[in-house]
Amino acid sequence: MKVYEYQAKELLGRFGVPLPRGAVAATAEEAVAAAKGLGGPAWVVKAQIHAGGRRRGRFDGSPAVAGGIRFVGSLEEVGENAGQMLGQVLVTEQTGSAGRRVKQVYVEAAHEVQRELYLGMLVDRRTSRVTLIALAEGGVDIEALTRHSPDSLIKVAIDPLVGLSAESAHQVAAGLGLTGDQAQQAVRIMFAVYDMFMRLDASLIEINPLAITSAGDLLALDATVTFDDNALFRHRDIEALRGEDELQWGELDATRHGLNYVKLDGNIGCLSSGAGLAMATLDAIKLYGGEAANFLDVPPAVQVERVRYAFELILSDPSIETILVNVFGGGIMRCDTIADGMILASRETPPRVPLIVRFAGVNAEFARLRLKDSGLAVTFAGDLAEAAEKAVEAARVARLSAQRSWWQRVQGLMTKQDESGDRLTR
């Protein structure tokens, strides 16, 4: 679960990370009032969305009005820039072409910066350890920088039995070129970030940039925080911060039903058992030239009712032209549970698109018989490659059929226009 920048900073502040003073606003008038309350000769107005790259982003439909982070030197400019952002769609490298609508801005007191650093913490899946990451250069595209200069990245895998050690923190500070009081400040920030990461079950904390001001102080000028969804039951106060407006179609309801669902831009609806198989299914669809409409995996201990909801969620997506169900039964996961959920969902919402199914593992043959006896029009596949190929082909045929129907309707209108002599509205 992601939170907005201002929420991330509020949480970091609770753990002792030094921050610029700021206030959130939902209107241009509120932004001006916030700037007045902060005082000072200059401010930063920041669009609040769940995505990075805001500084280089652009507002959809207004290419001349670029950038979701603006530095301004007067109260009039605060109001003007906030008004330009609020209600508009900001498109960045991380939002995709659809962008995100800006409903709030964060107004901060501006600071003169001498140098920018990067500090982050995440779970490294290769080592299965929380890992501290730092760079002597911040405020840039970290991914691109590390690709070109991988040796510039400072990484410390933290022993879960020991925690972040003072020795490791001081080594990171030295690697960033910090000495004296600035090194001590950096060490305190590292311990604060680690404390927050562990206590709140975060999966990612980024401070980019971690700035050194003209006064020699370290400040977290920007922050990104993501939490582990599986641990939110321990943090109801964190879960309450969820930005429901930022979730795409279906994601909020899926979360409430305990499903891992992500809306994508394609036209092939997907249901799989387990995140790994779900990712493999998306890769196979791409390999055969198709595009998935979603990522959706059901947990191993899933019950029929939850499968029913998952299948209904896919059926109700207006963008899909084919559905691919790819399930491997193993342990407590049974293929017939998936089949029964599909049958229940289809009684309420009959499938309007081709249905491709691949079952393997526990009760796979029984599940196939259940679907056959139900009367559902199902095309079965023997393996993932065959299933993906059939799904892509079915989606292609469905799209051609839709285009043909559209053209036939246009021709019918044109024929009526010729017969009546009336003007055709297109």
pLDDT of 67-97, one tens digit each?
Answer: 899 999 999 999 999 999 999 899 888 887 7
Active-site residue, selected from the candidate residues 4, 118, 194, 261:
118
Q: Could you tell me which of 124, 120, 188, 187 has the C-alpha nearest to residue 160?
A: 124
Task: Give CA–CA dist 332/118, Å, rounded.
Answer: 44
Q: Which residues in 38-93 belong to E strands, given as ranges? A: 43-47, 58-59, 62-66, 69-72, 89-91
Which residue type sits at 108?
E
Q: Can 106 be counted among the known catalytic residues?
A: no
Mean pLDDT of the chain: 88
Tell me which CATH code domain 21-110 carries.
3.30.1490.20
CB 3 within 8 A of CB 76: no
The 10 Å Cβ neighbour count of residue 416 is: 11
Highest mean pLDDT among 14-18, 64-68, 295-299: 14-18
338 neighbors 307 (Cβ within 8 angstroms): yes
pLDDT at residue 232, as a whole number: 86
> Is position 118 annotated as part of the catalytic site?
yes
- What are the residue boundaries of the structural domains of the chain, listed by start? 1-19+112-246, 21-110, 248-401
Of the listed 5, 108, 116, 206, which one is catalytic? 206
347 pLDDT higher than 80: yes
CATH code of 1-19+112-246, in short, is 3.30.470.20
Q: Does residue 426 surpass a pLDDT of 90?
A: no
- Rounded to the nearest angstrom, the gap between the alpha carbon of residue 101 and the centroid of all alpha carbons in its chain is 15
According to the CATH classification, is domain 248-401 in 1.10.4080.10? no
Q: Using one digit for the tens of pLDDT, what is the confidence trace for 113-166?
A: 999 999 999 999 889 999 999 999 876 666 666 677 777 789 999 999 999 999
Instruction: Give the C-alpha separation, 18 to 111, whole Å.
Output: 13
Enumerate residues 6+ apart whose C-beta is below 8 A from 123: 129, 130, 131, 203, 204
Report the predicted TM-score, pTM, of the whole model to 2 decimal places.
0.71
Q: What is the predicted pLDDT for the residue at 138?
A: 79
Q: Which residues, in sequence order, are bridge partners of residue 40? A: none
**pLDDT for 424 beyond 50:** no
